[in-house]
Amino acid sequence: KLAPVWGGIGAAVGLSMAFGAVLQFGSSQLTFEAQEALGGTLSVISVGLVTWMVFWMRRTARHLKAELHGKLDAAIAMGTFALVGTAFLAVGREGLETALFIWSAVQATDDGWNPLVGAALGLLTSVVLGWLFYRGALRINLAKFFTWTGAMLVVVAAGVLAYGVHDLQEAGWIPGLHSQAFDISATVPKDSWYGTLLKGVFNFQPDPTVLQLGVWAAYLVPTLAIFLGLFGSRPAAPPARRPDTAGSATPAAPAEGSGATGSTG
């Protein structure tokens, strides 16, 4: 049944690339103010989608493989078209989010083809990892993997959100464009290698507006804290040991959801 699965995947990838092309070439026909308004709006939307995605992946990472297997089993029972549709939806949902987020990040960095090269390397790495998983040559704790990569994405998303606010300020939708929080352009020049690195990874801007800085902090601090569980309940204490009928100590049954996270291959 691999042929219809690959068919659905190919259609999803094609749709995602077409969506990215429409964003890129469609926006180039707009006026400057319209481009900034579109870029800022889509940046905010992409941050919302990515934030939802990282929390969803962190919550479902342990059961993701079983969930996908269950959907594919049901699709196989329904027929070929259902199998194509299942693969298409599974990949297309993430593909459209990825296309939107990459487009927003590229607009924010404004560094030519370099961000696209980085995106291509990231996608190639994903392909290699997927092949290694399929061949059984690599096993990984998905819960920890999505925790670390999700935290990194939250940091990147904070920068994209701040730049989206700046776009909306340039479009005239939000005030405060000329109210700068600070300006360290002399210390961190935008065209220096470290300025470019900070811009590309964190969307760092040496001369942000007050609103940009406030939105960046208001998003990053609570979102990262909640994602890492700093505001959540503390881990439950180890189960108490209770005596059995013979008087020997036996551990109580572990609470649901406890135990080591399994690896997937």
Task: Flag the least confident range among 8-17, 80-89, 108-117, 235-244.
Answer: 235-244
Cα 44 to chain centroid distance, Å, stands at: 13
Average pLDDT over residues 64-81: 82
What b/e sequence results for 169-179 when a residue is b if at least 16 CB atoms lie within 10 Å of its CB, and e otherwise?
A: bbbeebeeeee
pTM higher than 0.85: no
How many Cβ atoms from other residues are within 10 Å of residue 100's Cβ? 21
Average pLDDT over residues 135-145: 79
d(CA 97, CA 79): 28
pLDDT at 237: 47
Task: Flag the least confident range among 18-27, 160-169, 188-197, 214-223.
Answer: 188-197
Residues 6+ apart with CB under 8 A from 199: 109, 111, 190, 205
pLDDT band at 68 (very low <50, low <70, confident <90, very high): confident
pLDDT of 246 higher than 60: no
Task: Flag the least confident range among 149-153, 187-191, 258-262.
Answer: 258-262
- Structure-model confidence comparison of residues 265 and 151, the more confident one: 151
pLDDT band at 201 (very low <50, low <70, confident <90, very high): confident
pLDDT at 236: 45
pLDDT of 258 higher than 60: no
pLDDT at 211: 94
Average pLDDT over residues 72-79: 84
- Structure-model confidence comparison of residues 159 and 239, the more confident one: 159
Average pLDDT over residues 86-94: 87
Task: Flag the least confident range among 8-17, 174-183, 191-200.
Answer: 191-200
Cα→Cα distances 223→21, 100, 148, 175, 257, Å? 31, 21, 14, 25, 24
pLDDT of 256 higher than 60: no
pLDDT at 10: 94
Q: Distance between terminal CA atoms of the chain?
A: 20
Query: What secondary structure letter does DSSP report for 140?
Result: B
d(CA 215, CA 140): 35
pLDDT of 222 higher than 90: yes
Residue 194, phi then psi, degrees to nearest 5? -75, -30
Task: Flag the least confident range among 39-48, 66-75, 147-156.
Answer: 66-75
pLDDT of 138 higher than 70: yes
